[in-house]
Structure 1
Amino acid sequence: MTLSVSKSERTRRFIIERTAPVFNTKGYAGTSLTDLTHVTGLTKGGLYGNFENKDAIAVAAFDYNFGKVTAYLKDKINAKDNAVERLLTYPEVYRNFLRIPFLKSGCPILNTASEADDTHPQLKEKAAAALAFWKQAVKNQVKRGIGRKEIRPDVHPVQTAVVLMALVEGAVLQAKTTGRTAELHMAMDFLEKFIKGLAV
């Protein structure tokens, strides 16, 4: 039995899908109502008939962007069995993030956190929750690897997660800011060595 989706829900989904890349590229402050009406083809009334305000659209767009990145990484990670190989998915994906259409504008966590720090508490909260989710996912992979004797028992799961995330986000920031990939590749080479060094 298939559940039918209401017209209202379809419209909300359409708005989120169309506006998500704009928010991730321009940021919350840089995205205007004109941008939103332009990409959706809807009037202001059409947008606000489905969402309370721009804030509500931005929060839904963040969830959509983060969900897309998470699903992409999860598919690639789950395709591998060994814990070290699973962790190597991160440098493998982010080394070429500029070639992945929905990552081209950067990491939604980094983009949102850097802008929403003091200006948008709800988005800041969303970014913090996304970071916590990512950290937990990496910790789980490390613990799984230790349990399966694929990762050394002296490896610290939290430290590993913090270092991995810092290298990825720092490298993405440099690549986005400079338009160069040299530093990105250096950082991902370093991350690869770091992850391989966790192996038993």
Structure 2
Amino acid sequence: DNIIKGHHEGANKLEEVLHWCDELGVEIFSIWIFSLDNFKRASHEVEGILGLIEGKMRELVTIEGLHANQIKVRAMGQIELLPPSLQEAIRHAEEATQNYDKFILNVAVAYGGREEIIEAFRGHLKAESESGKTVRQIADELTVDKITPYLYTSNLPDPELIIRTSGEVRLSGFLLWQSVYSEFYFCDTYWPSFRKIDFLRALRAYSQRKRRFGK
């Protein structure tokens, strides 16, 4: 149907955008392709979308440019909720590119920003409690830096620019923790129709802003 067709066109857009990133010197690109809320859609639609994602993950590994440009693929989200065949496709893409270091592609799938933060706190609490600390001690010592290592993006810098396409003027939970100082660019163009000129406009708008980091 039209929804699956739109997702198919969106999946094909990724390779084009990765080429633009390479041309323009962008070193980390994160894309949110399936949220936890998306599981609430009609079952045939969910199956269709996840099937597309699986196909794209398998296709990525065969793209010559992926290897030529040393693109490391990283998935972030509750991957364990996905069908086993998709989990395997993701694992294969990650393993095939794990030693690359020129460019990082973060693929957010089965991802939710609130859930990421909950998982991070859970990881921190487990680690601290295993060291014999009381709940009060853990609470008293809690800082931002104690949580950051348990995020999906723990070893990466926070995003400098977040582009929201399709005329949506909201964050929808994407990288909630990491985006505290990010700049935002909202674009009316739908993702499958996103053009290089749209990308350039977003980068130009970002370059003209003075980042204040809360100061």
TM-score by length of 1: 0.33
TM-score by length of 2: 0.31
The structure with the largest helix share of the pair is: 1
